[in-house]
Amino acid sequence: MEKQPILSQNRPYGLNNPGYASAAQGQPAMFAASSGPSAPPASMFDSMPGYEGTIAGGGGFLPPPVPAYPVPQPTPGPEQPHWNIPSITEEIARSAFNQFASSKCCYSSGPAKDGVITNMEAFNTYRYRLETFTESRSTEWTQEPYRSQPVDAGTQPPPGPWDIPAKTPSFFVDSTQIIRVPYTSSVKPCHECLGMARRPCTSCSGAGSKVCWVCNGSGFRFNDRCSHCHGRGRDNCIHCHGQGTTECHTCSGRGQLLVYINLTVKWTNNCDDYVVEQSSGLQVTKLSKVSGKELYRDSQYMVYPVIGFPNPEVMQAAQRLVNDHQVKFCQTSRILQQRQTIELIPITRITYTWKGSSHIYYVYGNEYEVNADDYPATCCCTVM
């Protein structure tokens, strides 16, 4: 006759779970067969006046209202004289080259220290930059466990998304603020646990116990009673302590949720650059991390494209970018401020000889950055 597991009278092993049929059989709790919804149902959230399109997980960006006041008319900026930055000295060029070589673990210092400079040629280029500081707003339903927080839904209509005051940060600095929309808070049963405050244990599927891993549920090992489960064939689930259920994480065991609308206000500094092509041979992308001499700065609600500047490419870029920004950002956000600047970035191409060969490197920007793609004394580092 097959030996049967010995059931304990002292430990429940899942019997505390009313949906559990038999500890020895190891059937999961009956109510655990159907897991709850993974997201709140749409009916859980009331439709609020002015927020009908708001959903859980985000309702998208809200277009700003048409201003009740006339849009200020931009005024042309002053004409700017032509500027040239003096060439750097040979001492600065050599010092920058030495620092560049010493910062590279695989570069010999020989060319930087012993190379003979034979020619230095200056190339100045313009960089036009347009910054548009915008404010955008979006709403979404959110939730948190109900702990007797104030409930105000229905007491009066909530203010519109663009009527809620927010503290604007410093211009041209990205920032985000989340504001709870007044008069949208209400209490709902938790959708995860259906208001029961507990959920079937995912570790034991609601059974409260698991098959003993030592005897594989037989209760015996080598014809002796299993010492691990004491012949029961099952062990209490350590995650739910044999109860078959665990506290609902969504409502923190409260059974109820406070649901409300959050307004996310986002301030973004949208920036675009245009660098005038130059004939030095240095790649334009190298200039993105350096600064130059600022020739022009204009900051106001709506800037007017630069006119009268000696370089026509700069004026064309200003016209194009100003138009692009106004079309792009006016539909989805509110423009708070614009700023346009023109910099003159210094570039010096240095020709030098080392061991009878001629080579080139560049020193550029106010930071004296160096680019030397054909540095003649490098080695390969191999990690063994």
Mean pLDDT of 359-374: 95
Q: 20: domain range?
A: 1-34+209-242
**pLDDT value at position 4?**
43
CA angle 102, 105, 107 (to 5 degrees): 65
For residue 85, tell me if it sits in a domain. Answer: no
How far, in Å, CA of 220 to CA of 74, rounded?
A: 89
**What does the pLDDT average to over 189-204?**
92
Q: What pLDDT does 69 receive?
A: 52
Q: 258 forms bridges with which residues in the sheet?
A: 144, 187
Q: Is 327 left (phi over 0), alpha (psi -120 to 50) or beta?
A: alpha
Which tens digit of pLDDT belongs to each residue from 109-134? 899 999 999 999 999 899 999 999 99
Distance CA 9, CA 242 (A): 14
Residue 374 burial (10 A CB sphere; 0-12, 13-18, 19+): exposed
Does 306 reside within a domain?
A: yes
Distance CA 218, CA 381 (A): 61
Give the Cα separation of 174 and 266 in Å (integer).
8
Summarize pLDDT for 307-320 with one digit per residue, the tens. 888 889 999 999 99
pLDDT higher than threshold 90 for residue 253: yes
One domain for residues 232 and 291: no
DSSP 174-214: -EEEEEEPTT--EEEE-TTTTTSSEEE-TTTTTSSEEE-TT
332 falls within a domain? yes
Do 276 and 223 share a structural domain?
no
Quick one: 300 and 228 in the same domain?
A: no
317 and 275 in one domain?
yes
What is the rounded distance in angstroms from the CA atom of residue 297 to the CA atom of residue 303? 10
Question: Which range has highest mean pLDDT (12-16, 61-65, 84-88, 361-365)?
Answer: 361-365
Helix or strand (DSSP H, E) at 111: helix 110-114
pLDDT over 70 percentage in the chain:
82
Give the pLDDT confidence score for residue 20 in this predicted structure: 32
| Predicted local distance difference test score (pLDDT) of residue 14 | 37
**Residue range 322-336, pLDDT digits in tens:** 999 989 998 889 999
HSE (side-chain half, CA atoms, 13 Å) at 244:
23
> Considering the domain boundaries, does residue 9 fall inside one?
yes
Q: Are residues 297 and 351 in the same domain?
A: yes
d(CA 30, CA 17): 10
Asked whether residue 140 is assigned to any structural domain, the reply reads: no
My answer on whether 305 and 337 are in the same domain is yes
Q: Provide the token pair at 247.
A: 């506290």
| Structure-token pair, residue 92 | 């600065």
**Mean pLDDT in residue range 150-164:** 93
pLDDT band of residue 382 (cuts 50, 70, 90) is very low
Are residue 302 and residue 367 in the same domain, yes or no?
Answer: yes
Length reported for the chain? 384
Q: Is 27 exposed, middle or buried (0-12, 13-18, 19+ CB in 10 A)?
A: middle
Which is higher by pLDDT, 279 or 41?
Answer: 279
Same domain, yes or no, for 5 and 99? no
User: pLDDT-based confidence at 238, cuts 50/70/90?
Assistant: confident
How is residue 175 written in tokens?
Answer: 């920032």
- For residue 91, name the pLDDT band (cuts at 50, 70, 90): very high
309, 347: one domain:
yes
- The domain tally of the chain equals 2
358 found inside a domain: yes
> What is residue 50's predicted lDDT score, i.e. its pLDDT?
81
Confidence of residue 190 (pLDDT cuts 50, 70, 90): very high
Given a cut of 80, whether residue 30 has pLDDT beyond it is no
Q: What is the mean pLDDT of residues 240-264?
A: 94
Average pLDDT in the 176-200 region?
95
- Biggest CA–CA distance in the chain, Å, is 107
Give residue 26's pLDDT.
39
Are 233 and 298 in the same domain?
Answer: no
Q: Are 98 and 363 in contact (CB under 8 A)?
A: no
Residue at 224 is within a domain: yes
Burial class (CB in 10 A: 0-12, 13-18, 19+), 355: exposed
pLDDT digit string, tens, across residues 344-355: 999 999 999 999
| 253, amino acid identity | G
Predicted pLDDT at 235 = 85
To which H or E segment does residue 122 belong? strand 116-145
d(CA 236, CA 13): 5
Closest CA to 260 of 151, 138, 157, 136: 151
d(CA 324, CA 240): 59
Over pLDDT 90: what percentage of the chain?
57
Strands in 146-191 per DSSP E: 175-180, 186-189
Nearest of 174, 150, 168, 163 to residue 64 by alpha carbon:
163
Residue 380 lies in a domain: no
How many angstroms separate the Cα of 29 from the Cα of each of 36, 38, 47, 200? 14, 20, 37, 8
Nearest in space to 276 (alpha carbons), one of 215, 221, 344: 344
Same-domain check for residues 215 and 362: no
If one counts every other C-beta atom within 10 angstroms of the C-beta of residue 155, the result is 10
Torsion sign (Cα): 88, 93, 94, 99: positive
pLDDT of residue 75: 60
What integer pLDDT is reported at residue 78 of this predicted model?
54
Average pLDDT score over residue span 15-33: 36
| Tokens (6 digits) for 115 | 């190379």
